Amino acid sequence: MLGHGGRVLPAVTVDTYNEELRDEEGFVGDRASGRAFRSILEDWREKLRALGEDPFGGTPSQEISKSKLDKMLAGADPMAAGLVHTVVEEFAIELATVVRRFLRLKDWHGTERIVIGGGLSSSHIGELAMGRAAVVLAGESVAIELRTITHHPDQAGLIGAVQLAPSWVLAGHDAILAADVGGTNLRVGIVELNMRKGGDLSKAAVWKRLHWRHRDDQPSRAQTLDRMAEMAGELIHLAGKEKLKLAPFVGIGCPGLIDERGIILTGGQNLPGNWEGEDFQLPREMASRLPRLDGHEPVVVVHNDAVVQGLSEVPNMTDLHRWGVLTIGTGLGNARFTNRIDRTVSS
């Protein structure tokens, strides 16, 4: 039986995910989210505007791209570079604070490494913030390794879906269909398994993917599901033309706490429309919109998006036992894993 929001997966146990830490100021994770970074940027720009020296002029902080910030950081304008550096420094301190808080949780005890994913991690400013946070933590004798996610976050959120399926589901197939639903973007892709001897998925990679920035269109829930199915249909057609054999399995990552029925209990507030509650089962809704795959009704499995993005790192975590992921996106996603070790000794 394939379970939604499953804790015991083929390669790892999901010790905890979607932790909503609170303090007197609200959710602790909000201090190290993409929104928090933009808020820090706006605060410092406001101080400079009072002096008539804002290097970004009238461009709203939310519309300044990460690539633009990277360029300003490395540019010849010392005021612009200084501004971006100051924002990164302040954000890094907040990130270090959030990491410390997670490590105090019982389910996060013994964490050896934390992978930083999400959109911000794919930029130089994101990498710099992570590096600075690591230095801050080391200075406080906090024994934790931080590293950026290996795959681009846009691909990691799809690649990790292969780790949701047991090997018998994947056997005899070339690829799976995967989707990553966020508060701003929707991505649907085909992930090639590239399995080697023993069902090794370390070479899994995105073959094709489609992207829709749904926040620009502000669709309803039904419109979003219909568009997801259309994107999936287009990819299924392309796979058929290339004789790529799709497993009758679809892995979906989305924000929130997911129960065994595929219902989003909490954390789906940034999704278009109301995705939380007993009246909405995402896997059932998607399965009803998809065609048969390899002659079978597709099995749709839903898990938290930070979990799925973290699962893309499974092949890179064999040197340790306990590890976690923090994804810096619209909010801050989180998950902690324990590797499942086969202790069977052949006689």
Residues 192-206: tens digit of each pLDDT: 999 876 678 999 999
Give, in order, the Cα–Cα distances in Å from 193 to each of 78, 186, 222.
47, 22, 31
Reported as a single tens digit per residue, the pLDDT across 250-261 is 999 999 999 999
pLDDT value at residue 26:
62
Residue 24: pLDDT band with limits 50, 70, 90? low
Same domain, 126 and 190: no
> Is 90 inside any structural domain?
yes
Task: State pLDDT tens for residues 134-182.
Answer: 999 999 999 999 999 999 999 999 999 999 999 899 999 999 999 999 9
Indicate if the pLDDT at residue 2 is higher than 80: no
Sheet holding 322-328, edge to edge: 12-17, 332-339, 322-328, 113-117, 145-148
Averaged pLDDT, 242-249: 96
Clarify whether residues 185 and 239 are in a common domain.
yes
Is 334 contained in some domain? no
Same domain, 160 and 127: no
Domain end among 94, 128, 148: 148
Give, as one character, the DSSP assignment of residue 88.
Answer: H
Of 3 and 177, the structure prediction assigns the larger pLDDT to 177
Can you give the residue range of the structural domain that contains 220? Answer: 152-306
Answer yes or no: pTM beyond 0.75.
yes
Query: Domain tally for the chain?
Result: 2
Residues 134 and 279 in one domain: no
Last residue of a domain, one of 306, 321, 341: 306
Whether residue 300 lies inside any domain: the answer is: yes
Answer with the one of 148, 172, 203 that is the final residue of a domain. 148
Distance CA 205, CA 274 (A): 32
Report the SS3 class of residue 72: helix
Residue 245 sits in a domain whose CATH number is 3.30.420.40
